Amino acid sequence: MRIGLRLFYNPGWMGGVNYVLNWARALQSLPAGERPRVTLLAATPAAQKIAEEHAHLGDAIAPFQNTASLGLDFVYPATQLAETPFGAPWAGWIPDWQCRHMPELFSQGEARRRLLQYRLLATHAPVCVVSSQMADADTARVVPEAQAPRHVLPFPAVFASEVYARTPERIAATRARLGAPGRYAIICNQFWRHKNHLLVLEALERVTRDDVHIVMSGALQDDRWPDYADRVRALLAEPRVGQHVTLLGSIARDDQIDLMLGAIGVVQPSRFEGWSTVVEEARALGLPSLLSDFPVHREQSPPASQFFDPDDAATLAARLDAWFAAPPARLSSDAAEARQRDYVVACARRFLAIAAEAKRRYDPAVHDPKPVTAQSLLELRADVTAGRVAADDEALFQAGARGLFREHPEELAGLGGYIGQEAYPLYPSAMTQMMVASLVKMSPEARQRFFDADLSGDAVAHEARASLATPAGKMSLTALSAAAKARDIVRGMLKR
């Protein structure tokens, strides 16, 4: 099987980058006879750099824009319809519905965008993947009309054999260099408010043992609540709390792994996770874990895990006292590696089974970006008219779709062919607007590809393009393009 893994780059969500890379590692873990051919698909220059840095995880690197010519059996993941590939089977991915459970973590526009994009994925994808049973139940509740078959596909943590072979001497040297004590538990989270570090600090104020110690890694910053870091620092300044904490900030990944290997266990106090990476890493390394009692953590439940109420500092304090009085048993490195190897192979086989189903179900006439966009525009127009969706949400979808079609001028030319089809009774003005707005942001070379695209046999698409192909139409596009560039320059200056 030929698999395309779509790499994207979002500095605010490195978990998404690691998610894709971990699936590449998982697929590599399969026996040689089962292992697919993996192409790393780079959607942006930043993603291209990530692909090159991790070229050993795939058999090839290619631009995401070229999927139609690569002969792929499956492309994954699409987190919105604007990320769907041309000419290849694909699956959507809904990590979680945090935007529904904790809307305060998002701007109003971002929360609406996620709700809309996930709803459209659940409706139009050949197959839709969710990371947990909780996300599956949320999808059924939020999108009861969802038509795409859903599969729960938790992702594993995958470590190289080198990690399991790290020596006590190396781990001790890292611990000494970073100022960690001889015995500690570890928290590996960014200091975002919902990660719930304050509960841990309040618990440390109540512990009865002097030797309870927590090492915390992660950037002490949450731009959404600038005062949150000040509250953390204020608690750390209390001698009763500060003596139990080593605060490291952001550290190198190798150092983080060394510290995890040297810990008596992992503490994860978060109030919400789609599927906790650090919990999966605790499972992979054979570490005991103290987890907030939250449905996804219960679902993950690695061996030797205990739970506490995320609002109950006293219970967590008692758990920590008990841990340090009698540290829980942990697996040897060899046993942890063997157990995790079997788990990762099972996850990879599950991935390939979903890929095979997506390939069977994929129908270009239904699931390719052109019909998906056409159908979604139709549905959104009806939703706006009925008051179910705000006009701004429709505009958000169109903006994403324009970004996709700007990379595929020939496909944009063919989009006009859906005007007037019985299955797509689209409003021609909206389709024309979509095409014009896409063309305005294209380079002159890409715009020419739109006009040169072969539309023989598609009279409607040809007619839709004809009005734009006149000298007056092309002059108008040139003028609109210049105006758009000037507007972008002004916006950029205002942001400085």
pLDDT of res. 426: 65
pLDDT of res. 495: 63
- For 213-217, 279-283, 385-389, which range has the lowest pLDDT when averaged over its residues? 385-389
- For 91-105, 106-120, 164-178, which range has the lowest pLDDT when averaged over its residues? 106-120
* Structure confidence at residue 466 as a pLDDT band (50, 70, 90): confident
473: pLDDT strictly greater than 70:
yes
pLDDT of res. 430: 65
- Mean pLDDT, rounded, for 479-488: 77
pLDDT of res. 419: 67
What domains appear along the chain, each with residue ranges and CATH number? Answer: 2-153+346-363 (3.40.50.2000), 161-330 (3.40.50.2000), 368-495 (no CATH)
User: Contact 435/416 with Cβ under 8 angstroms?
Assistant: yes
- Mean pLDDT, rounded, for 137-146: 95
Residue 349, classified by CB atoms within 10 Å of its CB into exposed (0-12), middle (13-18) or buried (19+), is middle
pLDDT of res. 493: 66
Q: How many CB atoms lie within 10 A of CB 299?
A: 17
Q: What percent of the chain has pLDDT over 90?
A: 69
Sequence-distant (6+) residues with CB within 8 A of 99 are 105, 106, 110, 111, 114, 115
pLDDT of res. 397: 87
**Closest Cα partner for 97 from 70, 42, 136, 135?**
135
Average pLDDT, whole number, for the chain?
A: 91
436: pLDDT strictly greater than 80:
yes
Q: Dump pLDDT digits (tens) for 264-299.
A: 999 999 999 999 999 999 999 999 999 999 999 999
456: pLDDT strictly greater than 90:
no
- Mean pLDDT, rounded, for 144-169: 95
DSSP 3-state percent helix, strand, coil across the chain (nearest 5): 55, 10, 30
SS3 label, residue 371: helix
What is the distance between the alpha carbons of residues 282 and 347, in angstroms, rounded to a whole number?
17
- Mean pLDDT, rounded, for 213-226: 89
pLDDT of res. 420: 63
12: pLDDT strictly greater than 90:
no
pLDDT of res. 8: 82
Q: Dump pLDDT digits (tens) for 318-331.
A: 999 999 999 999 99
Peptide bond into 327 cis (omega under 30): no
Q: Dump pLDDT digits (tens) for 353-367.
A: 999 999 999 999 999
Q: Dump pLDDT digits (tens) for 87-96.
A: 999 999 999 9
- Mean pLDDT, rounded, for 484-495: 70
pLDDT of res. 348: 98
What's 155's DSSP letter? Answer: P
pLDDT of res. 293: 97
